[in-house]
Amino acid sequence: MNVDLATALLEKYGSPLYVYDGDRLRDTIRHITQSVPYPHTQFRFASVTNGNVALLQIFRSIGWGLHANTPGDIYLGLQAGFSPDQIVYSGSNLDRSEMEQVLNWGITTLNLDSLAQLELLCDVYQTVGRTAPQPPILGEPDNLHLGFRLNLPELTGDSRIGVRPEEFPAAVTIAAAAGLKITGLHFYRGTGTNATQAFTQVIDKVLETASLLPDWQYLDFGGGFGYPYKHGGVAFDWEWFGRELTDRFEKQTKKINLVIEPGRAAIAGCATLLAKVISVKWQDEIQVVGVDTTVANLSVPSVHGGYREIEVLTTQDSITHPTNVCGNTTYSRDYLGKNCQLPALKIGDIIAILDVGAYGYAMSSHFLHRPRPPEVLLENGTDRLIRHREDYSVLLNHQIFAPSI
């Protein structure tokens, strides 16, 4: 992003500010789509990474569906205009009311986390589902696609998620008692994996495991695709991955539907968090820069890593210094960047924190009671607001207190 555009956006919308490049997002979606030539492929955006409805509508306009981890993901997807049959639910630990809600919304594909969740679904289906007020699929068991999230330590590591192959026979029996079938398997490699081979080398084993299901019809193959936050580092190779998948699936003796659910890989690179320099001080040779945003506006470092590339937009000085970029709180770990090499900065300079489209706003919080920034979408040379800036009143939402005390 150039300095003129950044300055104009900050003057119009204020600082800090999330800025999404819609044109780049569309290009990334098309690149991923075209990389997998297998004809029976459905792409579902993992909206856990970003739930802004305006961005979800871009995915829908290009023909992708939605991958939901929670009922909240489903709710946002429906608000964005996705039909229930375009949404795949792959989550864990729904209670009864949530399971009823998911079915009443008309979700047709569910990848469940345990036999207990299957038993709950079957009970809801039998006792509530058939009389649901909005029953596009209930009462039509062949239209309800049930699968399991796979737990196979040799592939998935030490994970709490999923069902092991030795549990498949019991699952088939439980489903059959309710007039249902287990038709799918969901393989999740892990969060943010850039090593393409980590996916390609397990395709055969995943297919072999899925074939243990007598009514197998679909495979949901990831989740977990990474993004190269360190520019120039290892990046996931979508063309290689697509060729390997297509080769294996075309060798199957029956048509298997393939579901792929990119999240971070699709949306991380399209967004920038703009911020202004508020203070500058020096501690020996280290430049300590204070900005008007906070680590609470990025993903939780312990979960999704703390590194982001940082660019300075308002100076072209080629001499750089070791720099810590610090947020506007007293939290000891409020570093937007640590040990960066940046030029000498001054108050009012603009920095751009890159690649914040995934787990940026989605994992932002009111930690230390800072309202969250707005979001702006750039498309075809124009900008528009897609989420308002919060003010301090948001901190009182849903609180109950006695004002006179």
138 neighbors 110 (Cβ within 8 angstroms): no
Domain ranges of the chain: 3-18+269-396, 35-262
Side chain identity, residue 76: L
Q: Closest Cα to residue 289, out of 354, 344, 355, 367?
A: 344
Q: Note the pLDDT of residue 189.
A: 79
CA distance 266 to 175: 35
CATH class of 35-262: alpha beta
Residues of the chain with pLDDT > 70, as a percent, come to 95
Beta strands in 198-264 (DSSP E): 218-221, 257-260
Q: Note the pLDDT of residue 308.
A: 87
Q: Note the pLDDT of residue 160.
A: 87
Q: Note the pLDDT of residue 35.
A: 97
Q: Give the pair of three-digit tokens for residue 7.
A: 């300055």
For residue 117, how far is the Cα from the chain centroid? Answer: 23
* Rg of the chain on CA atoms, in Å: 23
Instruction: Work out the angle between the directed axes of helices 53-61 and 22-34 (0-180°, nearest 10).
Output: 40
DSSP state of 361: G
For the domain made up of 3-18+269-396, give the CATH fold. Answer: Lyase, Ornithine Decarboxylase; Chain A, domain 1 (2.40.37)
Instruction: Collect the ranges in the chain with pLDDT lower than 70.
Output: 129-142, 300-306, 405
For residue 75, how far is the Cα from the chain centroid? Answer: 15
Q: Closest Cα to residue 65, out of 259, 226, 249, 268?
A: 259
Residue with tokens 């948001």: 394
CA distance 78 to 211: 32
- Residue 404: CB partners within 8 Å, gap ≥ 6? none
H or E element, residue 26: helix 22-34
65 has which bridge partners? 44
228 neighbors 234 (Cβ within 8 angstroms): yes
CA distance 219 to 117: 19
3-state secondary structure of 261: coil
Q: Give the pair of three-digit tokens for residue 155.
A: 């592939």
* Residue count (the chain): 405
CA distance 346 to 325: 13
237 neighbors 266 (Cβ within 8 angstroms): no
Backbone φ and ψ for 306, nearest 5 degrees, come out as -105, -5
162 neighbors 156 (Cβ within 8 angstroms): yes
Q: Closest Cα to residue 210, out of 173, 156, 165?
A: 165
